[in-house]
Each structure stands twice: as C-alpha cells, then as structure tokens.
Amino acid sequence: MKIELKYGCNPNQKNAYLESPLCMPVEVLNGRPGYINLMDALNGWQLVSELKAATGMSAATSFKHVSPAGAAVSVPLSETERKMYFIPASKNLSPLATAYIRARGADRMASFGDFVSLSDECDACTASIISKEVSDGVIAPSYEPEALEILKSKKGGSYLVLKIDPSFKPSGKEVHTVFGLDLVQDHNSWMPDADTFSDIKSVAKDIPESARLDMIVALLALKYTQSNSVCYAQNGQTIGVGSGQQSRLACTRLAGAKADLWQLRKSDKVLSLPFLKGKTRNEKDNIIEQYLADDPEIDVIGNWQEYFSEKPQPFDSEEKKVYLKKVSGVSLASDGFFPFRDNIDRSAKSGVSYVAEPGGSTRDEEIITAADEHGMVLVFTHARLFHH
C-alpha cells in the first residue's frame, strides 16, 4: 500500500511516497503530507504512545526536523505556567490539551511550524489550542468530529491531519537506505521499567516520584531525538533539548541554555511585561526571547514603543544569574555516557538535581564524584539511546 507525498526532503526530490508491504496504518484525513512531515509524525507518534504506556498519562510532542522541540505528559498547569503559556485562568483544559500546551511551551521558538503528535483521541479543546499556533500538521489515533472540523479549517483548509491505527506494531527490523545501500537493524524496543532507576551511583539516593516521571519523559524524548542529545525536564515536560551535536558538552550547553530561558520565562519581570494590545502569541514569544537575550545588538528596551505600552525594566545578566541560582529539582538525561565531568558542572548551573545516563565511561568515577559534589542523584540506566 502506498501514500503519494508532495516531494521528498527537498522539492527537487520527486517521486516520493510512503509504502507498507502489508497494511497501511496511516490515513490522511486532510491535506497532503511531505516526507519530513511523515518523519516527524511517525517518530512523534512512537514517542507519545510510549510516554502514555510508561506513565498512564496523556502525552503530546511538538516535533521539528525529526527531533522533539518539546514533549510532555498531562501534569496540571500551575497558575504561573498558565501565564507563561498565555492560557487564561478561566479556560478549562483536557488532559491532552494540557500535555500539548506543555510540549509546545517547552521551546516555543523551536516549535514554530511544528508537527504535533497526540497519544489520545484529539478533543475539541486540544484542537482549539493547536488552531491558534503556527503548525504544519497533527497525528492522533482518532478525532472528535468537532475537533476534526476545527483542524480542517486551519491554514485555509490545507492543514495536514493524519490518523494512525494505535494497534499497529512494526516489524522487528528497521531498514534505512543510504546511497542505495540498506542498513538493517532491530527495532529499538527499549522502555523504562522498575529497574531503570535502580543503579544509583551517588551518595544521594532519594528520587521522588515527580523526578522519576521527569526522567522517564526525558529518556523517552531522547530515544527519538537526533544524537548526540541531552534533555532537561521538569514538571512532566522537557524544558531543554540539545540535539544533533558532535560534542556532548555542546548538547549539555545548548539544552541548558534552553532550560534557563524556560525558567526565566516564569520570572515576575517576564510575566509582567506590558505588551501592547493586539500582539499575538508568536510575537510575544519573539519579543520575550529578545528581552532575555544577552546580545548587545538586540535592544528591545531601546525600541520599547514597538512592543510595550510602557518602558519595561531591563533584566540584566547579574539579575538572571541570581534568579537561576534559586532553581532546583531539574532532571537531566543523556542518550550516551558523559565522558567528562564538565557536563555535570554545566548542568548544575541550570538547577539539575537528578541525572540519568547510561554509564560505561572510563571516567565514570569522575562523573560520580562531580555529582556528589553538587549533591545530585546520579543513576546509571545502562541503556544507550542513540537515534539517527
């Protein structure tokens, strides 16, 4: 069975299609898919379905270029999180909508033009949230009639809506064709279980259920993130994903910088910014990123009349450092072992208290020592999660 695509990775790569030798578990309900759309959709679906299986909670992910910009489960939003995600206090949210708001809110700049994957039937509440975002498409096991109509009207009627059979199981083998040659491997069936967090190497041993949930979210997100990759998580969602870097320290720095921005968005200075009326969510996201940027070439305060009803107070580097020093309880996961302690030292600056990594480095003792110096709980999962 075959589904014709608009084109491959690029418009010059014609004659592209999705093919299945037995049955086709994907149905196009609206729009016309592209190659990267389906890469995002199929990887994202695996992630959210595994999050649901591992936690029992509704799950969502926001994918961009075959890596999650954000992934989350349906931990209820706090009052502060509602404000930072632009969700009115009076708006009732379904668990699935909550999961998507968290996934999209993890890194709103990276999520611009995302592909959405949902673990459960898409309800009208979730569809209404998606309809207000700049997004390319969505995949879910089913749709409420009202939700489907909302989504079909998006992007002038061209919004891509995919339905997937949740009972579909892939074959035991995966095939990746490169330069006309087939690379074949077993499907990665790893899932977190009761033993995943049992090998605690640090002096500190206590892992609260909230941290265990965050590490599950981070590890499963890494399973579908282009390697090398590192993920910070808190409150049932990723808050910083560093993907596709040759250096693991670069991953840790990149993800840590994103996690820091997520934390700073919760500050009173950001939540009280006096935006001009009529600014959209995406405009506010861009302005907040500029407001928080330590870049002398970006001067939002200097051009405040374009964005704000009154001149906001600046948020200088020292104030940010003081604010971030108060952050704690963040979880960090890595898809491969940490080769040097610099990764642990950098993550400590972003409030990391719990670390999950495979172990197996010749410097494992150095990593354990670093974790102990920072008072972290360090777990060796013995599971490498490279993804390409």
Cβ contact 366:388 at 8 Å: no
For 361-370, which contacts have Cβ atoms below 8 Å and span 24 or more sequence positions? 361/337, 363/339, 364/201, 364/337, 366/340, 366/341, 367/337, 367/338, 367/341, 367/343, 368/201, 368/202, 369/341, 370/341, 370/344, 370/345
Catalytic sites, residue numbers: 64-65, 228, 388
CA distance 237 to 275: 27
CA distance 243 to 55: 24
Burial of 209-242, coded b for 16+ CB within 10 Å and e otherwise, reads eebbbbbbbbbbbbbbbbbbbbbbbbbbbbbbbb
Cβ contact 358:333 at 8 Å: no
Instruction: Give yes or no for a cis peptide into 228 (omega within 30° of 0).
Output: yes
User: In Å, how far are 45, 309, 359 from 382, measured between CA atoms?
Assistant: 25, 53, 6
Q: Which conformational region is residue 202 in: left (phi greater than 0), alpha (psi within -120 to 50 degrees), or beta? A: beta
CA distance 65 to 246: 17
CA distance 81 to 75: 11
Cβ contacts of residue 384 below 8 Å, gap of 6+? Answer: 335, 336, 337, 358, 360
